[in-house]
Amino acid sequence: MNEKSISIEDVLSLPLDPKEQKKAVEEKVPCVAEGRLKVYDPNNNNVKKFLELLKSRLNRSVVGSMTGCIHCGMCSEACHYALARPDDPTMVPAYKGDQIRRIFKKHFDWTGSIFPWWVHAGSPKNDEDLNRLKNIVFGTCTGCRRCTLNCPMGVDTAVLVRLTRGLLTELGIVPEGVFVVSKDQWETGNQMGVTEEEYLETLEWMSEEISEEIGDPNFKIQVDKEDCDFIYTINPREVKYDPRSIGQAAKIFYYAGESWTMPRFGWDMTNFGLFSGDDKLGGYVAKNLYEAAKRLRAKRIVISECGHGYRSTRWEGYNWAKYAQNIPSESVLVTLIRYISQGRIKVDPSKNPLPVTFHDSCNLARSGDLTEEPRWLLKRACTDFREMFPNRADNFCCTGGGGALSMVEYKPLRMEVAKIKAQQLIDTGAKLVCTTCHNCIDGLGDLIRHYKLDMKVVQVIELVANALVLPAKKEKK
């Protein structure tokens, strides 16, 4: 665990890599050509533009977090970056917030205008300063909001970080990975660039597997079926890299006798706009989903296990989209609880005998208040459930940050500060760490490999599907 600290100056001076942006311009990618996704232009007078954009984004919650910090230092006790690098003041959330706060004070607060030296007000001088700001907000904070919950003044540093990310996204001053994922989501409607053909083929393949497993030749995952109880929306990672979770959900829905479908378009409930701070992208993605539910006359939207997908679809999306969303949405965890409570499916915990602990996703627990539902399910689907400490809204981030894995240049720092999470995992003595977020699966998987922990990451749906007690008739087939 005691690895050599990496140099923070190396992280903060990482240059802007515009290769993918240039390529997108050359290829006339529609979202870039139409100006929905911005590329970096050194002749754009970026500092001036940055200040104009900042002015347009100021509202009560932002200004509250800009002015509320009293530098008490309590946030340093909450942040896994600061805890992992206790001698590094640049890791303290208050410091990270100060990097945008000083600009606000200089230009939008009277104290900073008159006594800039007194309140440490300052302004970015050039694009290099903006690039440094990029490395701070994208590279040294996962936006987990643990510091927010521990702030006596109610300062939401994650709001400031997301705001700054959004301003920089408007100028194309973003890590290459952020640009690429944003482009994919603008162009294909999903953040991994999954084509419709690939999506439908995967559903067909999953249908065949589940049909064989349950012994029902008529079973098929229905696409674009109207008037179902719900549309099931997923993370594109499930299609691209691990479709087993789609199959597991389909199997559970089958045994519960559910009427459900998956939309042909508008199936990606993840939303990279939440991570990048791009409200326009956030609104576009969320609207696709809401429109799919409306088009298919579904009574509900069920969101598969995903932290930032849940937060953006259920809480933030309709504000970004300015959409009168009136079809309710719920996490698949709630759907599973309903099935078990109503006796529509039965689970046998002895089918999951390994000790399992639970990692609360930041977006689900701290920002979504979904803390008891996964525990309710795990206590019924596993024999040896162990709490991790701290837990629920006080849990530490997996370091995945709802999109941080797309920025490979920050991985060394991410892995260094992951030692806080790694120690939490070790202390449980569990063999499985369960989480309800696809991004956390990758974040935890990364740190498990990095710290060589004897542990495997699983999801609730996987454990519930494994614990299913199948009707005798189906088993015989």
Partner 1 sequence: MKAIGLCSHYSRQGDWAFHYALTLARAHDIQLNIFHWLDSPFRFRRDYVYADDKKETLVRVTDELIAKKELELREYYDFWLGDFVKVGFRLCEGNEGAELHRCLHRKEYDVLVVGYPEHGTDFGGEPIEKFASQFRTPVIMVGPDKPNSYHLNQRAVEILDQLGIKQGDWTLIEA
- Least distance to partner 1, CB of residue 315, Å: 26
- Under the binding rule (CB under 8 A), the answer on residue 178 touching partner 1 is no
- Least distance to partner 1, CB of residue 237, Å: 7
Single residue of 204, 216, 372, 475 touching partner 1 by CB under 8 A: 204
- Under the binding rule (CB under 8 A), the answer on residue 244 touching partner 1 is yes
- Least distance to partner 1, CB of residue 177, Å: 8
Q: Which stretch binds partner 1 (CB under 8 A): 50-58, 174-182, 267-275, 306-314?
A: 174-182
Of the pair 105, 419, the CB lying nearest partner 1 is at: 419
**Which residue, among 432, 239, 269, has the nearest Cα to 364 in the 3D structure?**
269
- Under the binding rule (CB under 8 A), the answer on residue 449 touching partner 1 is yes
Q: Name the token pair of 140.
A: 């040294």
Single residue of 205, 219, 265, 323 touching partner 1 by CB under 8 A: 205
Q: Name the token pair of 304.
A: 């598969």
Of the pair 46, 352, the CB lying nearest partner 1 is at: 352
Interface characters, 403-442, with partner 1 (x: CB under 8 A): --xx-x--x-----------------------------xx
Instruction: Let me know the angle formed at the C-alpha of 239 by 27 and 379, rounded to the nearest 5 degrees.
Output: 145
- Least distance to partner 1, CB of residue 240, Å: 6
Which residues sit opposite 330 in a β-bridge? 302
**152 Cβ partners below 8 Å, 6+ apart?**
72, 74
Single residue of 41, 224, 242, 416 touching partner 1 by CB under 8 A: 242
Q: Which stretch binds partner 1 (CB under 8 A): 127-135, 142-150, 176-184, 334-342?
A: 176-184
- Least distance to partner 1, CB of residue 321, Å: 27
Map the chain to HEC letters.
CCCCCCCHHHHHCCCCCCHHHHHHHHCCCHHHHCCCCCCCCCCCCHHHHHHHHHHHHCCHHHHHHHHCCCCCCHHHHCCHHHHHCCCCHHHCHHHHHHHHHHHHHHHHCHHHHHCCCCCCCCCCCCHHHHHHHHHHHHHCCCCCCHHHHCCCCCCCHHHHHHHHHHHHHHCCCCCHHHHHHHHHHHHHCCCCCCCHHHHHHHHHHHHHHHHHHHCCCCCCCCECCCCCCEEEEECHHHHHCCCHHHHHHHHHHHHCCCCEEECCCCCECCCHHHHHCCHHHHHHHHHHHHHHHHHCCCCEEEECCCHHHHHHHHHHHHHHHCCCCCCCEEEHHHHHHHHHHCCCCCECHHHCCCCEEEECCHHHHCCCCCCHHHHHHHHHHCCCEECCCCCHHHCCCCCCCCCHHHCHHHHHHHHHHCHHHHHHHHHHCCCEEEECCHHHHHHHHHHHHHCCCCCEEEEHHHHHHHHECCCHHHHHC
Q: Contacts with partner 1 in 7-46 (CB under 8 A)?
A: 20
Of the pair 187, 394, the CB lying nearest partner 1 is at: 187
- Least distance to partner 1, CB of residue 360, Å: 21
Q: Contacts with partner 1 in 208-227 (CB under 8 A)?
A: 208-209
Of the pair 201, 227, the CB lying nearest partner 1 is at: 201
Q: Which stretch binds partner 1 (CB under 8 A): 78-86, 199-207, 299-307, 459-467?
A: 199-207
- Under the binding rule (CB under 8 A), the answer on residue 202 touching partner 1 is yes
Single residue of 64, 68, 116, 243 touching partner 1 by CB under 8 A: 243
- Least distance to partner 1, CB of residue 278, Å: 19
Of the pair 95, 179, the CB lying nearest partner 1 is at: 179
Calpha distance 424→176 (Å, rounded)? 32
Q: Contacts with partner 1 in 348-407 (CB under 8 A)?
A: 405-406
Interface characters, 80-119, with partner 1 (x: CB under 8 A): ----------------------------------------
Single residue of 115, 118, 241, 389 touching partner 1 by CB under 8 A: 241
Of the pair 29, 180, the CB lying nearest partner 1 is at: 180
Positions touching partner 1 (CB under 8 A) are: 20, 176-177, 180, 192, 201-202, 204-205, 208-209, 237, 240-244, 405-406, 408, 411, 441-442, 445-446, 449
